[in-house]
Amino acid sequence: MKSRKGKSTVGLRYKLSLPVVLVCCMVFFLAGFWGSSFISQDDKGSSINEGLHQQQLLGANGGEKAVSFEHGESGNSEISSFSFQVLSWKPRAVLFPNFASKETCEAIIAFSRSRLQPSALALRKGETVDSTKDIRTSSGTFVRAKEEKTGALDWVEEKMARATMIPRAHGEAFNILRYEFGQKYNSHYDVFDPAEYGPQNSQRMASFLLYLSDVGEGGETMFPFENYENVNIGYDYKECIGLKVKPRQGDALLFYSMLPNGTFDKAALHGSCPVIKGEKWVATKWIRDKPVSFR
């Protein structure tokens, strides 16, 4: 890229001696080269970059002209805008409204529908598939971003990495889930406490959920211990209480299961309330504190 940039600078000096019209053309030409040099330095998600970057050059990014700063070798030139709402600090939970489009959500559902299997659980010592069968009743499938050929999941994964600033390599494969009438997931933690699950190589530090559908009624993501409420009430893990997040197609929810000092956040207990009307589709990604080798 450096050499291409060099050539066009020489070109500029030469053209400066030509009539004004040509100079103007050259300026636009250079702007294009300058832009493309940024795009091709970024080997991941370059098609996403291209679209957004061109919007910026045209000043068409929501009618405002975004100004892109010089970036490092590992950065990129595009300016993304996100809306977000902090839903809770205990646990740290943030909602991104309209994170993905309807088309993106529907492409992911279409790809996943035929691959669904009953969802499984990681078992604690002493638990069996049979003894735990009512805890999580959804169907699901694990999908790596690259397997979904429309690029929808790949795009979601890239945008997610930028929103969380946790590299893509830390994410497990997406778990695409469908909850039908009455289906739910009792409250649980995403971290694996070594005292219950044995030694762990890494931990699920954060969870990212993209709601792929609206739900008529029920199906909320709940945080029963939000603000450390209900911790001492002898809470029944089937009960749907505390902070409830209503699924809305295209919205994304991010929450952290670990505190900044690396210990588990007791307030990150969460579950999925039973679906009462309609169907709930969600794409979940567990983000670990170390790169994932099995993704």
Interface with ligand NAG (CB under 6 A): 259, 261, 263
Please tell me the distance from the alpha carbon of residue 113 to that of residue 68, in angstroms, as a whole number: 40
The two three-digit tokens of residue 104, written as one number: 């993106």
Provide, rounded to whole angstroms, the least separation between the CB of residue 291 and ligand NAG: 24
- Which CB sits closer to ligand NAG, 84 or 89? 89
Closest CB to ligand NAG among residues 90, 246: 90
Instruction: Give residue 230's region: left, alpha or beta (phi > 0; psi -120 to 50).
Output: left
Which residue carries 């406490």 as its tokens? 193
**Nearest distance, CB of residue 260 and ligand NAG, angstroms:** 7
Least distance between ligand NAG and beta carbon 194 (Å): 15
- Return phi, psi of residue 274, to 5°: -60, 140
Compare residues 197 and 228 and give the one whose CB is closer to ligand NAG.
228
Residue with CB nearest ligand NAG? 261
Question: Which residue, 152 or 267, has its beta carbon nearer to ligand NAG?
Answer: 267
Instruction: Give the residue with the Cβ less far from ligand NAG, 157 or 226.
Output: 226
Query: How many Å apart are CA 228 and CA 266, to the nearest integer?
Result: 8
Pick 94 or 258: Cβ nearer ligand NAG: 258
Rounded to whole angstroms, the Cα distance separating 226 from 90 reads: 6
CB of 261 to ligand NAG, least distance (A): 4
Residue 60: CB atoms within 10 A of its CB come to 12
Least separation in angstroms between residue 117's CB and ligand NAG is 38
Rounded to whole angstroms, the Cα distance separating 183 from 168 reads 30
Taking the complex as a whole, the smallest distance from the CB of residue 151 to ligand NAG amounts, in Å, to: 40
Range 124-133 contact pairs with CB under 8 angstroms and sequence separation of 24 or more: 124/196, 124/197, 125/196, 125/197, 125/198
- Residue 266 CB, nearest approach to ligand NAG (Å): 9
Q: Closest CB to ligand NAG among 17 and 263?
A: 263
Amino acid at 190: D
For the four alpha carbons of 117, 120, 183 and 252, in that order, the dihedral sign comes to negative
